[in-house]
A and B are shown apart, each in its own frame.
Chain A
């Protein structure tokens, strides 16, 4: 209850401040929209049907890109984490590729795949892939040796050791990586769509700018923020269920 009232209070203060700045700043509506203006812009986007379509397109791209990096990142992470020798060769390459912003790949991606769904999907994939891969590899390295002894004792062989022991044992740590990757990927979804797509929330931003509609621009930004928050809450819920099932006590200092 206290938390909810704090959230409402925080937003109330923000909107009032916004309104006051607008009222006394005498800014041009095209440069600095009022709260009511944004609400109107939001309504307009809704009635035109643009917003729902764009959200749908973005979500589909996000789902595809993120799912591919989850599957590939975890699979490769498990294998490379298990075969440390190979990881010794791969790790330096990953360390060089990882700091390259996914956006730096965009020119190549557009050249190779053209404009459309694929650039955004690839950007999301790149953004999510490295955190998932790295958290999986390090999780495999930290698996309790007792579990491996038990597997050996009970005659469990590969690939069952990987699926029955390593994957579930590492899952809480992998879940943390998935959570981290989700946030990063969402940020880059919009960036990818601003350049490489003709629909989606990122495109909506560019479109609003080109038409000098600051109200719609702001409305789209707010939608992006709220959707990101929703996705984050969803995966947090999932994470907590996993932690609970695995018997890990959720830590008190969660960042909310």
Chain B
């Protein structure tokens, strides 16, 4: 398997008490898959993503990408942060060039690559703008272009559309899904929005909190461009809803 998560646990110790953010998580991801990590707040989605991206170390178990243990962030696996992480002092162009600058390329080459990806996300007219002059959706597109520009194998996204309004959000979902089909990247996408996960994912990893665990993995067998109103789409969506409702039932039993 391309990405192998084996028996991974992550504990946080605060003021003497330990808290299990991840408990014995196992997950295998194939190259080119679009994976959504779905679950309520606090179920360890960010912790798992940061561990995969090498920003955090796990307490137990191992994470391997392409056979090698993950120890630190690598330019081959780019993370897109929820607050976009654009550098406000750089123009759109310069932001997209950021990751290319440490690759030892010629200036012209860097510019050409940046131009290409700015064009892909449809922001050529805004190349010379600064982030504060752009809407949230446009800023997110810059972040996506910046990630794609370094031609990574994997893109990690932590609730990238969380701060966008519903309509912009759906538009971005359309775009990211189109871009991903063309670019052949492996994507790990964190969300707490069920519809979003059904629309985007090849497989949905459903997580539950206290301690953070994988409950089930739902395979989404919807081919081609997904229609949010088709019966097949709604079927998968109901499936995922049911998974969460079962969890609520458990909790009710528990409290009684």
Contact = CB atoms under 8 A, between A and B. Distances in A.
Interface in A133-183: 146-147, 149-150, 152-157, 160, 164-165, 168-169, 171
Contacts of A154: 75, 78, 98-99, 102, 150
A147 B85 contact: yes
B9 interface: no
Residue picked from B78, B87, B103, most chain A C-beta under 10 Å: B87
A160 B104 CA distance: 13
B130 interface: yes
Contact of B88 (A152, A153, A164, A247): A247
A182 to B, nearest CB: 22
A153 B130 contact: no
Q: Mostly helix, strand, loop or mixed at chain A's interface?
A: helix
B2 interface: no
A242 B78 CA distance: 29
B73 A247 contact: no
Given A153-B79, A157-B102, A171 B89 contact: yes
A246 interface: yes
Contacts of B75: 153-155
Nearest to A153: B73
Chain B contact residues: helix, strand, loop or mixed: loop
A87 to B, nearest CB: 25
Contact of B73 (A149, A157, A246): A149
Contact of A149 (B55, B77, B87): B55
Contacts of B77: 153
A153 B90 CA distance: 18
Contacts of B81: 146, 149-150
Contacts, number: 61
Contacts of A164: 98, 101
B83 A146 contact: yes
Nearest to A165: B87
B72 interface: yes
B113 to A, nearest CB: 14
Interface in A63-122: none
A147 B87 contact: yes
Interface in B126-142: 130-132
A154 B102 CA distance: 8
B146 to A, nearest CB: 8
A153 B83 CA distance: 16
A146 B85 contact: yes
A245 interface: yes
Contact of B132 (A168, A171, A247): A247
A165 B99 CA distance: 12
B98 A247 contact: no
A150 B101 CA distance: 13
A164 B102 CA distance: 11
In the A-B complex, the 6 residue pairs with the closest CB atoms: A247-B132, A154-B99, A168-B89, A155-B75, A247-B88, A153-B73
Interface of B: 53, 55, 72-75, 77-79, 81, 83, 85, 87-90, 98-99, 101-103, 130-132, 150
26 contacts: A146-B83, A146-B85, A149-B79, A149-B81, A149-B85, A150-B81, A152-B55, A152-B73, A153-B75, A153-B78, A154-B78, A154-B98, A154-B150, A155-B75, A155-B99, A155-B102, A156-B98, A156-B102, A164-B98, A168-B89, A168-B90, A245-B88, A245-B130, A247-B130, A247-B131, A247-B132
